[in-house]
Amino acid sequence: MKLNDAVFGALFLVLSLLVLWTVQSYPKIPGQNIGPAAFPAVIAALLAVCSLMLIVQGVRARGQVPWFSRDGWTGQRRPLIAFAVTVGGLAVYVAASDRIGFLILGMLMLLAMMFALRVRPIAALVVAVVATLLIHFAFYKGLRVPLPWGLLPVLY
Amino acid sequence: MTWAVISQAFGLVFDPYVLWVIFASAMFGLFVGCVPGLTATMATALLVPITFFMPPVPAVAAIVTCTAMAIFAGDIPGALLRIPGTPASAAYTDEAYAMTKKGQAEVALGAGLVFSAIGGLFGTAVMIWMAPALAEVALKFSSFEYFWLVVLGLAGAVFIGSQSTLKAVISLLLGLLVACIGLDNPGAHPRFTFGNTELTGGVSLIPMMVGMFAVSEILRYVTSTLPPPPFITQKIGNVFRGMWQLTVQYRWPILRGSALGTIIGIQPGSGADMASWMSYAMSKRFSKEPEKFGTGHVEGIIESGAANNSSLAGAWIPALVFGIPGDSITAIAIGVLYLKNMNPGPTIFINNPENIYAIFLVFILANLIMLPLGWMAIKAAKNVLRAPRNILMPVILLFCVVGSFAINNTPFGVLLILVFGLAAFVLEDNGFPSAPAILGVVLGGMLEENFITSMIKSDGDPFVFFTRPIAGGLAAATLVILGWPLLVRLWRGMRRRQAA
């Protein structure tokens, strides 16, 4: 996904204004003229200036650079699916790992991604099961990371 | 006293457990370097969750060894497939591949191996000599000097080696804003936390790095539409044959490359990639036979192969002495040092000298074992290069998930790798470099703290930032770097007017 610089400039300008507006409500330190608002305010002001410069640069180049252009991959099914599976897998993990558990979700994530990347089904199945178990064992047993069991009973 | 410390350091490093860690991370680094699409920074980010559970010396040893190996091993697919294994090998990939096509694969690979080790040792020697001396000076620094030092580092990161200075500045500012999140500020007010308790401690550095350097790389892989690389099968002879003659013949380029690499490494924000591009260009300019460059000539490979490895050690100098990372790898390493209660800064040279000497020893050891292990890696390269990346990448993603979870044991870390992975993927695609952003996050807290402390000390008078002698000097240097592009433009404008 390629965006014209002006689009990014506009986004960052909005961000910097939001920051400047938010820090207005920050408390002052009694007896000091400088507090928690000072540093973010300076940074946001600088960001606002840079965003304006970026907008100017983007508007000047609008003849050569379109506002929005798609990369090759967004037009093709295979990379698009692989991208969606990768991002979606992480999002599902964040939302549901406590309830469903690492082992089940990890295997499903690996399977989905490998299918999207066209690994042969049998190889994908074997790798998904073995890799998830190995990683689980190394971190849960070896490094004592409390990975969630979720739906499964505590097996070891 | 020094000898006692050195023998103590030997004891710390030559411990069976530490040696085992060094060996294992060397193998890991060689593998990561060999597989295109996996970078040395990514290897470090993946190692961190594991080093989290180690004592300080093996933790640092793992990072140092793994990165040294990965930067060398990046040369292997460059020479055999014309795909750099890590970005640091990209500068001379075409050259190395041209040598392979002429049937000189073993010379290209041998030069990569031997001169990587020499460059690494050179950088290490500079570090051993410079770091303690700099630490003595740094002891006299107050918040004013530290403020300018951080600004100088950030300015250098933006102006050296980025295609668009404006985009690099924006990337840096975004990083500094991320550093503002949380309670850690004057007044301890929860800034930008949106009521989320996970954010009160700030954005954890490690999940962020894993997101920006590993997840974004995985996204780039799954969306790439390039066909899998063709494979050439060629016999690789003895890679060490003829290396001594090359060393003698090209002793000045080796020295020049190592020195330039070390300097680029010290400079915050630019690391091995920049070192190898710049020294390849320099090698061509100063060569007696510049016309041979690009046709399979070993000189450029020697010089920039030495440069990218020497930059690794160079980057540790400001990291250890000031806590200012010299490249994105040391940015991660500094996070590890803090976790291990080895807070970088000049006092570490006084309070824990044995740990510093142990780090020096690890650097020497890593560059020495590179020779036999690298030789093995070249022998095994044909099999490693067949490693199916469509299986590797999903497994690495799962590893990232577990690693980022392990830092605070909450799924919030996984959310961070997703957010920062996507952000880095989109922004890099549009020409915003990630190195300045990382530097902004790492140094943001330090910048604010020294700024606020100085302002309170001086009662709000900004002139004090310039009146202390060292602070004034650093201020002048910073202003020159910041004003440089402007000066150049003015100068060109004046010349044009004179010509007209």
ipTM entry = 0.93
Summary mean pLDDT of chain B:
86
Percentage of residues in chain B with pLDDT exceeding 70? 96
Query: What is the DSSP track for A100-155?
Result: H-HHHHHHHHHHHHHHHTT--HHHHHHHHHHHHHHHHIIIIIIS------TTS---
Task: Render pLDDT for B7-26 as a digit per residue (tens, 0 to 9).
Answer: 988 888 999 999 999 999 99
Task: Please tell me the predicted confidence (pLDDT) of residue B229.
Answer: 62
The pLDDT confidence band at residue B485, using thresholds 50, 70 and 90, is low
Task: Render pLDDT for B284-327 as a digit per residue (tens, 0 to 9).
Answer: 888 888 888 888 899 999 999 999 999 999 999 999 998 888 88
C-alpha angle with apex B339: B333 to B345, nearest 5 degrees?
Answer: 65
Strand ranges for B136-247 from DSSP E: none
Task: Please tell me the predicted confidence (pLDDT) of residue B18.
Answer: 94
**C-alpha dihedral, A62 to A64 to A68 to A69, nearest 10°:** 180
Mean pLDDT of B361-366: 94
pLDDT score of A103 more than 80? yes
| Beta-carbon separation of B401 and A22 below 8 A | no
Indicate the burial class of A25 (C-beta count within 10 angstroms; 0-12, 13-18, 19 or more): exposed
First and final C-alpha spacing in chain A: 45
**Contacts with A109 (C-beta within 8 Å, 6 or more apart), sequence order:** A89, A92, A93, B394, B397, B398, B401
Which of left, alpha, beta for A144 (phi over 0: left; psi -120 to 50: alpha)? left
CA–CA separation, B401 and B404 (whole Å): 5
Identify the closest residue of chain A to B415 by CA–CA distance. A94
Residue carrying structure tokens 């610089």: A5
Percentage of residues in chain A with pLDDT exceeding 70? 99
How close is the nearest chain B Cα to the Cα of A156, in Å? 18
CA–CA separation, B498 and B492 (whole Å): 10
How close is the nearest chain A Cα to the Cα of B218, in Å? 9
Number of helices followed by number of strands (H, E) in chain A = 5, 2
Indicate the burial class of A75 (C-beta count within 10 angstroms; 0-12, 13-18, 19 or more): exposed
Q: Tell me the chain A residues in contact with residue B405 when contact means C-beta distances shorter than 8 Å.
A: 97, 145, 147
| Beta-carbon separation of B451 and A46 below 8 A | no
C-alpha angle with apex B296: B294 to B301, nearest 5 degrees?
Answer: 85
pLDDT score of B466 more than 60? yes
Residue to substitute from A145, A147, A149, interface B, most B β-carbons within 10 A:
A145
The residues in A 63-92 lying below 8 A from B, measured between CB atoms, are 71-73, 76, 79, 82-83, 85-87, 89-91
The residues in B 206-225 lying below 8 A from A, measured between CB atoms, are 215, 218-219, 222-225
Task: Render pLDDT for A109-151 as a digit per residue (tens, 0 to 9).
Answer: 999 999 999 999 999 999 999 999 999 998 888 778 889 998 8
Residue B140's φ and ψ, nearest 5 degrees, are -85, -5
Task: Please tell me the predicted confidence (pLDDT) of residue A14.
Answer: 96
**Contacts with B340 (C-beta within 8 Å, 6 or more apart), sequence order:** B55, B56, B59, B60
The residues in B 428-447 lying below 8 A from A, measured between CB atoms, are 429-430, 432, 447
Task: Please tell me the predicted confidence (pLDDT) of residue B461.
Answer: 78
